[in-house]
Structure 1
Amino acid sequence: MSWFGKITGGTLGFMMGGPLGAIAGAALGHSLFDADSQDQPRRITSREEQEMIFFVSVFTLVGKMAKADGKITQDEINFIEHFMANQLKLGLKQREYAISIVRASKDDNTPIEDYLKQFAQVFPHSDMHFMLYEVLFTVAMADGHIHPEEEALLRKISPYLKVQRNIFEAMQARFKGGSSKRSSASELANHYKVLDCTPEMSDAEIKKIYRKKCREFHPDTLASRGLSEEFMELANNEIVKINEAYEAIKKSRN
């Protein structure tokens, strides 16, 4: 997040524009950028601008998702804090700003579609849409299950993101895949969902899909599209799941 030290509070919302810029500005605390307030804002690169928009988008929509069932639970708060500190490894000021975005967005009346449309304009590629959707699904699962209101919101946003068909079911497969109580048939069905393919496809077709997904979620590909280093662990986890699914499918066909 090299952009974080290059801006001042007064310029952040203006630089982003749109509903995400409004949230970015509303979330700013008076002291958040005080350390840099004496300096002129330094020029940020186009890639840093993308990283900034992805960061604000994630935590804006996390706020919306966390309150989808009417309130933000302690489990969801704990997950968000753990996600920031341990998975993203954000610094203190970065975490404070992310929490400010969550709080601002949960009380904001802007339709979630407006945020998604702005996100899609900046990030036209399906892999970046998938990364965002996975974060939101994980937040919804923070208390161990998905409430009907959360499921409705997850299904509502998928048409605005370039994600695979039946994305909700595919995400469920990812979360259920680790259970030792699952039958081998259920596990195999989940692996097909992870790859977004079907048992009726040929080996060659499945291999082609597998290779395409590996290219899409390669760290270099995602970095070139605006995914910052802090979020790269999500991409690495997805590559692991893709590889596991492909190997399991190959084994079942031998």
Structure 2
Amino acid sequence: MKIIVLLVIGIILYFIARGYKTEKFENIKLDIKERFDGDLLNHEAGLLVALMAKVAKADGQVCELEAEMLKHTFSDISRHFENQNEIREKLKDIYKKEKESFENTIEITEKLYKITKNHYEKRVGIIEYLLNIAFIDKEFSETELMICEDISNALKIKKEDFENLVNKFKTFYANQKANQALSLEKAYEVLESNVNDDNATLKKNYRTLVKKHHPDIVSGSGAGQDIIDQATKKLQEINEAYELIKKERKI
């Protein structure tokens, strides 16, 4: 499960790589590692994390993917600092504090705007990054929309650009959902089952197919190597199908 989560994180980070990157931070110098001992809410890094906290908690909970993404972001930002361990802990503290209230969202966003006011594309990248957090659990609630829209307005993002970003994410996740549905349909077909079968029936069908296609059993019947190889491939397909359905059913 951990590997799957990390793979998903990797895909998501690649997907947004064209948008917001820590290398674009106004205050971060890439040629040297700076030491920062002041209030990180006066620094672009801290302000971004504060807004991430608002968006991540907008729907009332932080999912596993959000938590993993936040962890990677803290590490990615802090590595640019000489006192990176201290910065990472401060960023975590900012996140914990700022997720508790939405009252200062506009105030924080306005501070970030002052730092980035001459870099419109960067601000678009920031809102794209925040939208990615909002969509990462594959649900985009009205509360998340409201928070992101407020931040976008305070960053002076054009309405058209904001709406285009929202639609891009909606399309991306709609396509992902459609592909998953097709994969599930194929999984049930592989297990010679249907979506209305109960868990016990599904398990019985799975075991029957495993016994039928297990390479050791096929080999014991005197089959040639080609047949054994086909059985091995079929068994892998059966196992993958069963795992996909179990995950979807949460069993």
Q: TM-score range by the shorter chain?
A: 0.3 to 0.5
- TM-score (normalizing by structure 2): 0.48
Asked which structure has the greater RCO (Cα within 8 Å, sep 6+), the reply is: 1
- TM-score (normalizing by structure 1): 0.47
Bigger-Rg structure (1/2): 2
